[in-house]
Structure 1
C-alpha cells in the first residue's frame, strides 16, 4: 500500500520541492497551505505522516500539532522550523512532534527522515520484536504497544523507540549524544531533542515525574533506565 504524506506549508516554492521529492520516493502526497485545511485533510483521509511547517497563516503549526496529538490515531509528525526558532522547536517536540528539520533543509534529508519515522511507526525494528516488562510497564515492540498497569499509553514514534531502547539496556547510563544516534539515527543534532522526549516519557510512566524512579538522570552523563524488577 502506498503511504500517504500530508505536507502543510504556505510557502509554495518549498512545498513544490518537498512534494516532488516525496512523490519521486514513492509516497502519495497531498499539500495544503494552512492549519485549518490541514485538520480537515487529516479528518477526511488520515495520512500516514504529516510534514508540518510551524509558520502558517491563521492556525499555526504548534496549534495544529497540539490538536493532532489530542486525537487517538497518533499520526507521526515531522516539523519544519526556521533555524533560529529553538524555543518553538522545543515546544513542538513537547507537544509531540516525532522529528524536526530546520529551514533551509535538504529535500533528500527530509525524505530520509520521513522514511525513518514511517519505518519505525510501522514496526520495522533493527532487532527482533520482543516484550519488555518491568513492574507493571509492558512494551511490545512488534505491535508497538506500551501499557502501564494494564492501561495503554499514548506514545509518539520517538517516545516509544526511546523507551524500548532504554528498557533493553537497563541500569546502563547513556549520554544524550548516544541516544540521539541510536534512537534517532542522527550522528549530530540538537541534544535538547532527547531531553524533551525524556521529559514527556516521565510524564507518562512515572508516578512523580519531578522525582523519576524509572528514567533517572545521571548527572554529568545523561540518562539511565532503572528497573524495578531485578
Structure 2
C-alpha cells in the first residue's frame, strides 16, 4: 500500500511552501507542483494518498485537473484549496468528486484537521470484515483461507489475499489495472511492465473455483469487478 504521501498543486510559491511545511510538521510526506500541466502529470503518475488542489493555476486549471483525475483514478481523494468561495465553485468542485473544499486563508490547525478527516474517511477506512460469503463457500481474509460447502478448502498467498481484500472493499465497482498496481503492489504503473497481476487474477479465479468468471469479472478495457453475491 502507498504511504501517507500528500501531493500539493499550488502555483503561489509562498502558500505552497506553507502548506508543505504544515503537512510535514504533521508527519506527512509531500510531493509538490507549481503549475497545472506539471501538476496533472504528477497527479496521474505518482503514488500518493491525498491531493491538495488549487483551482487557479497556469496551464491547466484545478477543475480540469480534477475532472481528468477522476476519469483515470476515480477513487483518489482530493481536497480543493481555493480563495474562490462562490457557491457555484464549491458545488462544481464537489460535484466533480472533491472530498472537501477549504477556503483560503486557512490556519495550519484547520488544514491538518481537514486532511486528517478526509484521510480517515477515504484513505484509512476500517478494514473490511475478515469473513465474506462467496457462492459455494466463504473466505476468511485473516487466515487467507477459502472454505467450500463440500468440505474442501483453498489457501491464498499473502498477495492473493491483499488483492481479494481490495476487490471486495471496492464494493462492486470496476477497479483498473493501474489502481491495483498502485494500491496493492505499491508500483508506478507508468514504469511497470509486468504480467504478474494477470497471473494473480488467474490464480485467484482458480482458487475461487470461478471457472466461468462470474465472480471476478473482466470489464474489457477498464479492469475487473468482483461480484460475491450468493446465487438466488
Q: Deviations over 1:139-186 (max 9, x none)?
A: x99964223xxx5599xxxxxxxxxxxxxxxxxxxxxxxxxxxxxxxx
When structure 1 is superposed on structure 2, of 82-91 and 62-71 the one drifting more is 82-91
2:226 matched to which residue of 1?
Answer: none
2:87 matched to which residue of 1?
Answer: 86
Contact 1:81 1:89 in 2 (8 A): no
Q: Deviations over 1:67-100 (max 9, x none)?
A: 0000145211000122533211210111100111
Contact 2:3 2:49 in 1 (8 A): no
Residue of 153, 164, 170 corresponding to 1:145: 170
Contact 1:123 1:143 in 2 (8 A): no
When the two structures are superposed, what TM-score results if normalisation uses the length of structure 2?
A: 0.54
2:25 matched to which residue of 1?
Answer: 24
Write the distance in 2 (CA, Å) between the matches of 1:123 and 1:115. 10
Q: Deviations over 1:171-228 (max 9, x none)?
A: xxxxxxxxxxxxxxxxxxxxxxxxxxxxxxxxxxxxxxxxxxxxxxxxxxxxxxxxxx
Write the distance in 2 (CA, Å) between the matches of 1:112 and 1:63. 26
2:41 matched to which residue of 1?
Answer: 40
Contact 2:128 2:169 in 1 (8 A): no
- Larger gyration radius, structure 1 or structure 2: 2
Contact 2:53 2:78 in 1 (8 A): yes
Contact 2:53 2:81 in 1 (8 A): yes
Secondary structure in 2 matching 1:56 = coil
When the two structures are superposed, what TM-score results if normalisation uses the length of structure 1?
A: 0.54
Aligned residues: 143
Unaligned runs of 5+ residues in structure 2 are: 132-164, 177-232
Contact 2:3 2:48 in 1 (8 A): no
What's the CA shift for 1:46? 2.5
Secondary structure in 2 matching 1:57 = coil
Query: Within 5 A, what are the aligned runs for 1:132-171?
Result: 144-147=169-172, 152=174
In structure 2, do the counterparts of structure 1 residues 24 and 61 end up closer, same or farther at CA, with 3 Å as the change threshold? same
Contact 2:22 2:108 in 1 (8 A): yes
What's the CA shift for 1:129? 5.1
Secondary structure in 2 matching 1:30 = strand
Contact 1:65 1:96 in 2 (8 A): yes
Write the distance in 2 (CA, Å) between the matches of 1:122 and 1:84. 26
Which protein has greater RCO, CA pairs closer than 8 Å, 6+ apart? 2
Contact 2:44 2:73 in 1 (8 A): no
1:202 matched to which residue of 2?
Answer: none
Unaligned runs of 5+ residues in structure 1 are: 132-139, 155-230
2:66 matched to which residue of 1?
Answer: 65
What's the CA shift for 1:28? 0.9
